[in-house]
Amino acid sequence: MSLIIKKGKDILCMRFVNVGGYDCIDEHLKLMDKKGYVWFGKIGNRPTDKALVKMLEEESNYILLKEPQNAYICRFEAYSENMPSEDEYPDYYKKEILPTRYFSLWFKLVYIKKVEDMNLLNSVVLKSSRAPILETARKSMASHFYTVTREEISFND
């Protein structure tokens, strides 16, 4: 299944890291394969409800998960401040994260795909400054960014 994101659509870009020797994305994909969805927990500053509601209303419910070398495009169908049931998020959260960290928000992901061609992200820019997200994410310590597409992007399987 390919994903096409039209020009002018919002994408929430969030940083993530692998912890405890677990591959974050792989663990989420395993659960998504079983259930058809998986909840992803956001640590730290949370995106605004206003921005998230607008994204859902405009069917611009995309998240770009970014680590230093890789990026993953995701689609979410809901978000919540409430912790989901234990069988709806990866087990490693309980062992590696929840004892010491707090999740500010949860996203119900229904699609996760590795961005194989990082050049595709050249048309994803910050909403505020129009600076390219890849350049900004490298320099900034922020945990999330509000971005928008400058042109249509197609992510193929």
Kindly write down the DSSP assignment for every residue of 94-140, as one continuous string.
IIIITTT--EEEEEEEEEEEE-S-GGGGGGEEETTT--BHHHHHHH-
Measured between alpha carbons, how far is 127 from 146 in angstroms, rounded to an integer? Answer: 6
**pLDDT at position 97:** 77
Residue with tokens 């998986």: 38
> Which amino acid makes up residue 10?
D
Within a domain: residue 14?
Answer: no
Within a domain: residue 6?
Answer: no
Lowest mean per-residue pLDDT among 25-39, 107-121, 129-143: 129-143
Within a domain: residue 91?
Answer: yes
**Burial grade of 14 (CB within 10 A; 0-12, 13-18, 19 or more):** buried
Q: Evaluate whether 124 touches 147 at the Cβ level (below 8 Å).
A: yes
Task: Looking at 8-91, list the stretches that DSSP marks H as alpha helix, in order from N- to C-terminal side.
Answer: 24-35, 49-57
pTM of this prediction?
0.92
Whether residue 54 is predicted with pLDDT greater than 70 in this model: the reply is yes
Q: What is the pLDDT of residues 107-128, one digit of tens each?
A: 999 999 999 999 999 999 999 9
* Structural domains counted in the chain: 1
Within a domain: residue 141?
Answer: yes
Residue 99: pLDDT band (50, 70, 90) is low
**pLDDT at position 47:** 93
Within a domain: residue 16?
Answer: no
CA 44 to chain centre: 14
Within a domain: residue 64?
Answer: yes
- Domain range holding 44? 32-151
Q: Give the mean pLDDT of the chain.
A: 91
